[in-house]
Amino acid sequence: MKEAVVTLLPVKDVARRTSLSKAQIYRMTAREQFPMPVRVSRGRTAWVDSEINEWIKTRVSERNAERGQSNGLDFSAHGDGAMRYRE
> Is the pTM value of this prediction over 0.85?
no
Give the DSSP per-residue string, 36-56: PPEEEETTEEEEEHHHHHHHH
User: Which amino acid type is present at position 49?
Assistant: D
Tell me the pLDDT tens digit for each residue of 32-71: 999 999 999 999 999 999 999 999 999 999 999 888 866 5
Angle CA 59–64–85, to nearest 5: 70
Count helices and strands (H / E) in the chain. 3, 5
